[in-house]
């Protein structure tokens, strides 16, 4: 049995008050393990992004716990929570959110800089990770000079550079064409996943289902079923 990466229980999250109140998470329980890629799929508005945000310490739930390494992250104060995200998590946002005025290498180095690592060392590491994601030679370009798929790779390099335990990706293929999307997730599956890491991906994209170890179905604020996927390789 692999080690538990995240254990969430009784997660409730609602937005608004009275008439306008929508409950996005209704008693969600979830456990993920190191060494696996978990997909969260489901219709639009079912609460996938909300769940991801609660799991990653970005959005405070109204009830429930998120245990990482045995500790409840929602018992931490704001600064400790920020440190948790910086040190344990890697994010790939749907819209990348790269800084257009920084070079790709500088963009990738941001988590290291935030960890107060030396500037030059950070740049060296960033260049190495850009090489891993196949962007050797593009270190000094601004992100806008890159294609969508390349920008997504920069975002992945930025998420990986701090060697996080947990990698969170929201709709990583949504703005990519099918082929590029597949190759990105395939890359993550082969090069980013390892036994000390857990990857959680929210997606609509059935073309990438083959890379999942488990697929969790989200429906109207609940995790409906758990579907195991068998790999052909």
Partner 1 sequence: MKGILKLAYKLVVNDKAKFTALLVGITFAVFLMMFITSMFVGVLNHSAATVINIDAPIWVMDPTVQTPANTIGLPGYILDAVRSMQGVKYAVPLYAGAALLKLADGTYQSANIIGLDDTSLYGRPELIQGNIDDIYAENGFIAIQDADFPKLGNAHIGSEFELNDNRGVIVGIAKVRSSSLFGIPTLYTTYYRCLQYIPNPRYTISYVLVVPKSMRDVPRIKQQVKVLGYVALTKDEFIGRTTNFYIFQSGFGMNLLIMTAVSFIVGLSVSGQTFYTFILENLERFGALKAIGTKSRELVSIILFQAAFTSLTGYGLGVGLCVSLIGVAKLRMPEYAAMISYLNLAVPFAMVLVIAAISSYFGVRRVLAIEPFDIFRG
| Sole window of 40-48, 82-90, 149-157, 190-198 interacting with ligand ATP (rule: CB under 6 A) | 40-48
Q: Is residue 91 within 8 Å of 49, Cβ to Cβ?
A: no
Q: Give the footprint of partner 1 on residues 172-231 (CB under 8 A).
A: none
| Sole window of 45-53, 71-79, 172-180, 206-214 interacting with Mg ion (rule: CB under 5 A) | 45-53
Does the footprint of ligand ATP cover residue 48 (CB under 6 A)? yes
Min dist CB 212 to partner 1, Å, is: 21
Q: Is residue 199 within 8 Å of 38, Cβ to Cβ?
A: yes
Burial 42-77, CB ≥16 within 10 A → b, else e: beeebbbbbbbbbbbbebebeebebbbeeeebbeee
Min dist CB 201 to ligand ATP, Å, is: 13
Closer Cβ to ligand ATP, 5 or 41, answer by number: 41
Does the footprint of partner 1 cover residue 89 (CB under 8 A)? yes
User: Which of 18, 78, 231, 233 lies at the binding interface for partner 1 (CB under 8 A)?
Assistant: 78
| Sole window of 42-50, 95-103, 104-112, 186-194 interacting with ligand ATP (rule: CB under 6 A) | 42-50
Q: Of 177, 134, 169, which Cα lies nearest the Cα of 49?
A: 169
Q: Which does 205 bind (CB under 5 to 8 A by kind): Mg ion, partner 1, ligand ATP, none?
A: none
Determine how many CB atoms are found less than 10 A away from the CB of residue 181.
Answer: 22
Find how far residue 175's CA is from the centre of its chain.
Answer: 16
DSSP state of 62: S
Does the footprint of ligand ATP cover residue 45 (CB under 6 A)? yes
State the Cα–Cα distance between residues 56 and 99, nearest whole angstrom.
22
Residues that bind Mg ion (CB under 5 A): 49
């Amino acid at each position: 049995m692999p080690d538990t990466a995240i254990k969430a229980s009784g997660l409730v999250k609602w937005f608004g008050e009275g008439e306008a109140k929508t409950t996005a998470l209704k008693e969600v329980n979830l456990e993920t393990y190191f060494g696996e890629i978990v997909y969260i799929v489901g219709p639009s508005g079912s609460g996938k992004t909300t769940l991801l945000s609660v799991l990653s310490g970005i959005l405070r739930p109204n009830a429930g716990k998120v245990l990482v390494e045995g500790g409840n992250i929602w018992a931490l104060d704001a600064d400790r929570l920020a440190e948790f995200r910086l040190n344990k998590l890697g994010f790939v946002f749907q819209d990348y959110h790269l800084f257009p005025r920084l070079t790709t290498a500088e963009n990738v180095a941001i988590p290291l800089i935030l960890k107060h690592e030396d500037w030059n060392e950070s740049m060296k590491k960033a260049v190495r990770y850009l090489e891993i994601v196949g962007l050797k030679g593009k270190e000094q370009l601004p992100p806008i000079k890159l294609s969508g798929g390349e920008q997504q790779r920069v975002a992945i390099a930025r998420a990986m550079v701090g060697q996080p335990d947990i990698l969170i990706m929201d709709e990583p293929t949504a703005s990519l064409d099918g082929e590029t999307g597949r190759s990105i997730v395939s890359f993550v599956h082969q090069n980013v996943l390892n036994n000390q890491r857990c990857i959680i991906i929210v997606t609509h994209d059935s073309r990438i289902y083959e890379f999942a170890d488990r697929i969790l179905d989200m429906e109207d604020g609940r995790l409906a079923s758990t579907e195991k996927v068998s790999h052909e390789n």
